[in-house]
Amino acid sequence: MLKLPSVTLICLTNQNFADHLLAMERSSLEIEFGARKIIYDMECDSIEKWNEKIIKDLYKYVDTTHALLIHSDGYVIHPELWRDDWLQYDWCSSPWPLPSDNYSYRDEERNIVRVGNSVGLRSKKLLELGATRLIKYRYGNNSEDGHYCCHNREWLESQGCKFMPFEEAIYFGKEHTIPENENIEKTFLFHAI
Protein backbone atom coordinates (compact mmCIF):
# COMPACT_ATOMS: atom_id res chain seq x y z
CA MET A 1 0.00 0.00 0.00
CA LEU A 2 1.39 3.38 -1.06
CA LYS A 3 1.33 5.90 1.79
CA LEU A 4 0.92 9.59 0.96
CA PRO A 5 0.50 11.27 4.37
CA SER A 6 1.17 14.74 2.94
CA VAL A 7 -1.66 14.53 0.37
CA THR A 8 -5.38 15.11 0.93
CA LEU A 9 -7.62 13.39 -1.61
CA ILE A 10 -10.46 15.85 -2.15
CA CYS A 11 -13.47 16.64 -4.30
CA LEU A 12 -16.27 19.20 -4.33
CA THR A 13 -19.82 18.56 -5.48
CA ASN A 14 -23.47 19.36 -4.95
CA GLN A 15 -24.72 16.38 -6.93
CA ASN A 16 -23.91 12.75 -7.67
CA PHE A 17 -22.51 12.16 -4.20
CA ALA A 18 -22.39 8.41 -4.84
CA ASP A 19 -20.34 8.92 -8.02
CA HIS A 20 -17.86 11.12 -6.18
CA LEU A 21 -17.63 8.61 -3.34
CA LEU A 22 -16.91 5.87 -5.89
CA ALA A 23 -14.15 8.01 -7.46
CA MET A 24 -12.70 8.57 -4.00
CA GLU A 25 -12.75 4.85 -3.22
CA ARG A 26 -11.20 3.92 -6.58
CA SER A 27 -8.44 6.48 -6.03
CA SER A 28 -7.77 4.98 -2.60
CA LEU A 29 -7.66 1.29 -3.56
CA GLU A 30 -3.88 1.10 -3.20
CA ILE A 31 -3.10 4.49 -1.67
CA GLU A 32 -3.43 5.62 1.93
CA PHE A 33 -3.83 9.40 1.84
CA GLY A 34 -3.23 11.80 4.73
CA ALA A 35 -6.94 12.65 4.53
CA ARG A 36 -9.91 12.04 2.26
CA LYS A 37 -12.62 14.67 1.96
CA ILE A 38 -15.76 15.11 -0.07
CA ILE A 39 -17.05 18.67 0.20
CA TYR A 40 -20.78 18.60 -0.42
CA ASP A 41 -21.99 22.16 -1.01
CA MET A 42 -25.56 22.76 -2.17
CA GLU A 43 -24.67 26.34 -3.15
CA CYS A 44 -22.36 25.08 -5.90
CA ASP A 45 -25.24 24.76 -8.35
CA SER A 46 -23.34 25.97 -11.42
CA ILE A 47 -19.90 25.51 -12.89
CA GLU A 48 -19.18 29.18 -12.16
CA LYS A 49 -19.94 28.73 -8.45
CA TRP A 50 -17.94 25.49 -8.36
CA ASN A 51 -14.91 27.21 -9.87
CA GLU A 52 -15.20 30.12 -7.44
CA LYS A 53 -15.44 27.75 -4.45
CA ILE A 54 -12.33 25.85 -5.60
CA ILE A 55 -10.40 29.11 -6.05
CA LYS A 56 -11.53 30.89 -2.89
CA ASP A 57 -12.12 28.09 -0.38
CA LEU A 58 -10.45 24.77 -1.24
CA TYR A 59 -7.33 25.53 0.81
CA LYS A 60 -9.51 25.78 3.95
CA TYR A 61 -10.22 22.04 3.74
CA VAL A 62 -6.58 21.00 3.28
CA ASP A 63 -4.40 20.30 6.34
CA THR A 64 -1.60 18.61 4.39
CA THR A 65 1.06 20.11 2.09
CA HIS A 66 -0.78 18.96 -1.06
CA ALA A 67 -4.27 18.16 -2.30
CA LEU A 68 -5.23 15.77 -5.07
CA LEU A 69 -8.45 17.14 -6.58
CA ILE A 70 -10.58 14.50 -8.28
CA HIS A 71 -14.00 14.44 -9.94
CA SER A 72 -16.59 11.74 -10.50
CA ASP A 73 -15.15 11.43 -14.04
CA GLY A 74 -11.48 11.87 -13.17
CA TYR A 75 -9.46 9.99 -10.57
CA VAL A 76 -6.47 7.72 -9.92
CA ILE A 77 -6.38 4.59 -12.08
CA HIS A 78 -2.75 3.42 -11.86
CA PRO A 79 -1.42 4.12 -8.35
CA GLU A 80 1.71 2.08 -9.13
CA LEU A 81 2.85 4.94 -11.40
CA TRP A 82 3.09 7.44 -8.51
CA ARG A 83 6.42 9.29 -8.27
CA ASP A 84 7.43 10.92 -4.99
CA ASP A 85 9.26 13.67 -6.87
CA TRP A 86 5.88 15.02 -8.02
CA LEU A 87 5.57 16.53 -4.54
CA GLN A 88 8.25 19.07 -5.50
CA TYR A 89 5.66 20.76 -7.73
CA ASP A 90 2.85 23.05 -6.74
CA TRP A 91 0.74 21.99 -9.73
CA CYS A 92 0.65 18.58 -11.47
CA SER A 93 -2.01 17.64 -13.99
CA SER A 94 -2.75 16.27 -17.45
CA PRO A 95 -1.49 18.06 -20.54
CA TRP A 96 -3.67 20.32 -22.63
CA PRO A 97 -3.71 20.15 -26.43
CA LEU A 98 -2.28 22.94 -28.52
CA PRO A 99 -4.99 25.60 -28.84
CA SER A 100 -6.84 26.06 -32.11
CA ASP A 101 -7.47 29.75 -31.42
CA ASN A 102 -5.40 32.72 -30.33
CA TYR A 103 -6.58 32.97 -26.72
CA SER A 104 -7.03 29.54 -25.06
CA TYR A 105 -4.40 27.96 -22.80
CA ARG A 106 -2.26 31.10 -22.56
CA ASP A 107 -0.51 32.85 -19.69
CA GLU A 108 -0.42 36.60 -19.01
CA GLU A 109 2.22 37.09 -21.71
CA ARG A 110 0.18 35.08 -24.25
CA ASN A 111 2.57 32.10 -24.09
CA ILE A 112 0.86 28.75 -24.67
CA VAL A 113 0.44 26.70 -21.48
CA ARG A 114 0.39 22.92 -22.00
CA VAL A 115 -0.24 21.65 -18.43
CA GLY A 116 -3.34 22.63 -16.52
CA ASN A 117 -6.21 20.16 -16.22
CA SER A 118 -8.40 20.47 -13.12
CA VAL A 119 -7.96 16.87 -11.94
CA GLY A 120 -4.57 16.82 -10.32
CA LEU A 121 -2.16 17.56 -7.52
CA ARG A 122 -1.73 21.07 -6.17
CA SER A 123 0.08 22.41 -3.13
CA LYS A 124 -1.68 24.15 -0.29
CA LYS A 125 0.75 27.03 -0.85
CA LEU A 126 -0.55 27.49 -4.40
CA LEU A 127 -4.17 27.22 -3.21
CA GLU A 128 -3.64 29.87 -0.54
CA LEU A 129 -1.87 32.21 -2.95
CA GLY A 130 -4.50 31.73 -5.66
CA ALA A 131 -7.29 32.57 -3.21
CA THR A 132 -5.80 36.05 -2.76
CA ARG A 133 -6.08 36.90 -6.46
CA LEU A 134 -9.06 38.44 -8.18
CA ILE A 135 -10.84 36.00 -10.45
CA LYS A 136 -10.20 37.17 -14.01
CA TYR A 137 -12.91 36.46 -16.53
CA ARG A 138 -11.46 35.72 -19.94
CA TYR A 139 -13.83 35.14 -22.82
CA GLY A 140 -16.65 34.39 -20.37
CA ASN A 141 -14.60 31.72 -18.58
CA ASN A 142 -13.32 31.71 -15.01
CA SER A 143 -12.21 28.08 -14.76
CA GLU A 144 -10.15 27.29 -11.70
CA ASP A 145 -7.43 25.56 -13.69
CA GLY A 146 -7.18 28.61 -15.96
CA HIS A 147 -7.02 30.83 -12.84
CA TYR A 148 -3.92 29.03 -11.58
CA CYS A 149 -2.20 27.84 -14.75
CA CYS A 150 -2.89 30.72 -17.14
CA HIS A 151 -4.23 33.95 -15.64
CA ASN A 152 -1.94 33.96 -12.58
CA ARG A 153 0.88 31.64 -13.62
CA GLU A 154 3.68 34.19 -13.84
CA TRP A 155 2.70 35.74 -10.51
CA LEU A 156 2.53 32.30 -8.86
CA GLU A 157 5.95 31.44 -10.26
CA SER A 158 7.29 34.75 -8.89
CA GLN A 159 6.05 33.53 -5.48
CA GLY A 160 8.08 30.33 -5.82
CA CYS A 161 5.42 28.00 -7.22
CA LYS A 162 6.59 25.30 -9.63
CA PHE A 163 4.43 23.78 -12.35
CA MET A 164 4.98 20.24 -13.59
CA PRO A 165 6.81 20.17 -16.93
CA PHE A 166 4.90 18.94 -19.96
CA GLU A 167 7.34 16.04 -20.37
CA GLU A 168 6.22 14.65 -16.99
CA ALA A 169 2.55 15.59 -17.33
CA ILE A 170 2.07 13.13 -20.20
CA TYR A 171 2.77 10.34 -17.68
CA PHE A 172 0.87 11.93 -14.80
CA GLY A 173 -2.55 12.12 -16.42
CA LYS A 174 -4.62 12.01 -19.56
CA GLU A 175 -7.63 14.06 -20.54
CA HIS A 176 -7.01 14.58 -24.26
CA THR A 177 -5.27 12.28 -26.68
CA ILE A 178 -2.51 14.37 -28.20
CA PRO A 179 0.45 13.35 -30.37
CA GLU A 180 2.78 13.35 -27.36
CA ASN A 181 0.71 10.84 -25.34
CA GLU A 182 -1.03 8.70 -27.96
CA ASN A 183 1.41 5.82 -27.38
CA ILE A 184 1.34 6.06 -23.59
CA GLU A 185 -0.99 3.32 -22.40
CA LYS A 186 -1.04 4.06 -18.66
CA THR A 187 -1.10 7.26 -16.64
CA PHE A 188 -1.44 7.81 -12.90
CA LEU A 189 -4.89 9.36 -13.33
CA PHE A 190 -7.36 10.38 -16.00
CA HIS A 191 -10.10 12.91 -16.62
CA ALA A 192 -12.85 12.02 -19.09
CA ILE A 193 -13.98 14.60 -21.62
Question: Chain centroid to CA 173: how far?
Answer: 10
Mention every residue, 6+ apart, whose C-beta is less than 8 A from residue 17.
38, 40
What is the SS3 assignment for 187?
coil
Burial of residue 81, with CB atoms counted within 10 A of its CB: 0-12 exposed, 13-18 middle, 19 or more buried? middle
State pLDDT tens for residues 135-182: 876 655 679 999 999 999 999 999 999 999 999 999 999 999 999 999
pLDDT in tens, the chain (193 residues): 999 999 999 999 998 899 999 999 999 999 999 999 999 999 999 988 999 999 999 999 999 999 999 999 999 999 999 999 999 999 999 999 999 988 888 888 889 999 999 999 999 999 999 999 988 766 556 799 999 999 999 999 999 999 999 999 999 999 999 999 999 999 999 999 6
Count of structural domains, the chain: 1
Domain interval for residue 68: 2-191
Question: Chain centroid to CA 101: how far?
Answer: 23
Query: What whole-number distance in Å separates Cα of residue 44 and Cα of residue 144?
Result: 14
Query: What whole-number distance in Å separates Cα of residue 141 and Cα of residue 51?
Result: 10
Task: CATH number of the domain at 40, please.
Answer: 3.90.550.10
70: closest CA among 114, 32, 19? Answer: 19
Q: What is the pTM of this model?
A: 0.95
